[in-house]
Structure 1
Amino acid sequence: MRVEIWSDINCPWCYIGKARFERALERFEHREEIEVVHRSFELDPRAPQDARPVVPLIAAKYGLSLGEAEAAEARIAENARGEGLPYLSEGRDAANSFDMHRLLHFAKEHGRQAQLLDSLYRANFAEERSAFEAGRLVELAVEAGLDGEAAAAVLADPEAYADAVREDETTASAMGATGVPFFVLDRRLGVSGAQPAETFTRALEQAWESRVALPLTTLAAKE
């Protein structure tokens, strides 16, 4: 059974939701038969390329004061730490994530998507050094087990894997997703948001029990 997860590196609830889903998956009886695929979704495709402090961005987006935006970040940090995740609640920045998504598709081809995603989340939410700093993405790709020169070549070509990112986003839109994280189990059951682990457990069980068992097809040997 396949579970597809649409997410954005700029989304702290995606970071938290991933941890909650993985906790549920660890306890799932049939976890070895679950394929997890991460899909691209940009919360703000028009976000600038240059990194900017997160708190003023949150304030502007949601019409909050800086104090209210800081409090919102603190609440998110508390939720993250409740899942055992490190979270830098002050001094974080954000920028356009399209290149990150392109690099994740490159990593998927080389079987290192999950490792790169973890590295990107850690860099964006738990480290003081900006994930958007020049050359940082190549370093993170190498940390995830990818070839640095190949990763740099992908980032240098703005069209590399761009269609794959857009295809993911088009699919999410067709499914009615307006935000992330968005989890789709076997293209039959959707779970929106960073739900508690118990909700993901119920979703996995429901999708597993209702999956369609295909009849065995036997191919006749050629004479």
Structure 2
Amino acid sequence: MRVEIWSDIACPWCYVGKARFDKALAGFAHRDQVEVVHRSFELDPHRPKDDVEPVLALLTRKYGMSQAQAEAGEDHLGAQAAAEGLEYRTRGRDHGNTFDMHRLLHFAKTRGLQAALLDVLYRANFAEERSVFTEGPERLVELAAKAGLDAEDARAVLADPAAYADEVRADEEEAARLGATGVPFFVLDRKYGVSGAQPVEVFTQALTQAWAEHTPLRLIDQGQQAQACGPDGCAVPRG
């Protein structure tokens, strides 16, 4: 069974939602038979690379919040993250363009390290003091190497603006076709969709339901073969 997860590194609910989904998957009896694929979704795709903004300033500007409301919202997110065992800096984070990170994630997928890089990027953005936006490509190269990727290979990907760009755009176009207007967005076997950082129990229910429809039909042991019709005709009783 395949689970596809559309998310963005700049999305705090994606950070929390992944942790909740991972908990549900860890407790799922058939977890070893579930393939998880992470797909790209940019919250701010038109933001120039050099346009980096403090998160609190973004919240007050974009959503019309007061400073106190923005800080309260970040405190709430910090509490939600802590409940899942995640570190979360409620002050001092910034926001920027994530396109290069998504390109690196597609490269990491070719090396079997996509999930590892995603975890590294999430932690760097939400828990660490150093920014993933202001230090340039070498910061991303450093994080890619931390996830197990070859630093020179990662550097070459970042130096080529076309590398894995089509893959990122294809993910985003697919998300639009599926009706995703926000992230995280989970799609199970292309039959069920789960939107948002749902509780662990919701993910468990979705995995169970999708698995029930994914698995082949099991025939009840009837002992002697019953009469039936097939491509070669029908079984005719012989006297």
Give the TM-score, by structure 1 length. 0.94
Distance in 2 of aligned mates of 1:45 and 1:80? 25
Matched, 1:33 2:18: no
After superposition, what is the alpha-carbon deviation per residue over 1:129-187, rounded to whole angstroms, capped at 9, x for unaligned?
00122211000000011011110111111111000000000000000000000000001
Q: Aligned residue for 1:193?
A: 196
Structure 2 matches for 1:1-223, cutoff 5 A? Answer: 1-50=1-50, 51-132=52-133, 133-134=135-136, 135-211=138-214, 213=216
Q: In the TM superposition, what whole-angstrom CA distance separates every residue of 1:42-84 from its partner, at most 9, and x where no partner exists?
A: 0110123132211111111211112211111111111000111
RMSD of the TM alignment (CA)? 1.2
In structure 1, stretches of 5+ residues that fail to align are 215-223
CA drift of 1:213 comes to: 2.9
Bigger Cα Rg: 2
The separation in 2 between residues aligned to 1:209 and 1:7, in whole angstroms, is 26
Q: Which amino acid in 2 is paired with 1:55?
A: L
Give me the whole-angstrom Cα distance separating, in 2, the residues matched to 1:49 and 1:168: 20
Amino acid across the alignment from 1:5:
I
The count of corresponding residues between Structure 1 and Structure 2 is 215
CA distance in 1 between partners of 2:43 and 2:79 (Å) = 22
Give the partner amino acid of 1:22: D
- Amino acid corresponding to residue 34 of structure 1 in structure 2: V
Identity %: 66
Separation of aligned partners in 2, 1:202 and 1:150:
40
Amino acid at match of 1:171: E
* Whole-Å separation in 1 of the counterparts to 2:62 and 2:77: 16
Give the partner amino acid of 1:16.
Answer: V
Q: The residue matched to 1:155 in structure 2 has which SS?
A: helix
Mapped to 2, the partners of 1:187 and 1:62 lie a distance apart of 33
Q: Secondary structure at the match of 1:60?
A: helix
> Equivalents in 2 of 1:52, 1:129: separation in Å?
14
> Structure 1 stretches (4+) deviating beyond 3 angstroms?
none
Q: Give me the whole-angstrom Cα distance separating, in 1, the residues matched to 2:196 and 2:38.
A: 15
Letter matched to residue 33 of structure 2 = E
Residue identity matched to 2:60: A
